[in-house]
Amino acid sequence: MAGIGMSWTDYYAKTQGRPPRPTLLEALARFGGRTGLAVDLGIGGGRDALEMLERGWRVVGFDSEPAVLALPRHPRLTVRREPFETAELPRADLVNASFSLPFCRPDAFPAFWGRIAAALNPGGRFAGQLFGPRDGWFGDPGITFLPEAEVRSLLASFDIECFDEEEDDAETPRGEMKHWHIFHVVARKR
Ligand SMILES: C[S@@+](CC[C@H](N)C(=O)[O-])C[C@H]1O[C@@H](n2cnc3c(N)ncnc32)[C@H](O)[C@@H]1O
């Protein structure tokens, strides 16, 4: 398993009941109550998907982890067990990728980002995180790290609404100290 050092199912157990990610809440606030179809990349334990469902969105969640197929059912939720590297995305108003995109293999990342940008309707939003080169996991061949300039160039056809760089030492869900270098992004496709 890339970097994280624990199974994703253990990660879901450790993060169960935690609130939705601030990047998702920011993106939802910017829709001003409008809803549509959201793609949740790396749906995991569903902390973000639940929030979107409660606000009336339809959600298509993608994740390679078999455990996601046991997520509670909801009439507006579809869960697809597919890896990012080959996933074909439906057209969407919101692509949410909380702490998940870095776990796309680096060789597959450019094409995957291309599919994300193509899937978004004009005026749709991307919300999520990318890891920078000073992250403590840098060098793990299974994880994608991008310098700030490359993250910004991914967003060339977007209006950037939030772009926060975080660099600090904090515990992983496994309880190990780690140096984090994260870009938190919310951006609207032109
Ligand atoms: C750090 S967890 C984040 C989960 C959730 N989005 C959250 O914010 O708590 C990363 C998620 O991405 C999924 N994942 C990792 N690599 C993946 C890949 N290559 N394709 C699809 N899903 C992947 C994992 O199974 C896990 O659910």
- What string of pLDDT tens digits covers the 190 residues of the chain? 556 778 888 888 888 889 999 999 999 999 999 999 999 999 999 999 999 999 999 999 999 999 999 999 999 999 999 999 999 999 999 999 999 999 999 999 999 999 999 999 999 999 999 999 999 999 999 999 999 999 999 999 999 999 999 999 999 988 999 999 999 999 999 9
Probe ligand 1: pick from 11, 89, 103, 115, max atoms within 8 Å of CB?
Answer: 103
- Is residue 43 a part of any domain in this protein? yes
| 112 is a domain residue | yes
pTM, rounded to two decimals: 0.96
Q: Of the residues 63, 171, 185, which should be mutated to test ligand 1's pocket, given the most ligand atoms within 8 Å of the CB? A: 63
Length of the chain in terms of residues written: 190
Is residue 17 included in any domain, yes or no?
A: yes
Coil, helix or strand at residue 112: helix
87 inside domain? yes
Would residue 1 count as lying in a domain?
A: no
Domain CATH for 177 = 3.40.50.150
**Residue 2, domain member (yes or no):** no
Q: Are 147 and 133 in contact (CB under 8 A)?
A: yes
CA distance 16 to 45: 7
Residue 137 · residue 178 · CB < 8 Å: yes
* Cα dihedral 21, 27, 33, 34 sign: negative
* Residue numbers of the domain that contains 125: 8-189
Q: For residue 3, tell me if it sits in a domain.
A: no
Domain tally, the chain: 1
- Residue where the block lists tokens 């600090």: 168
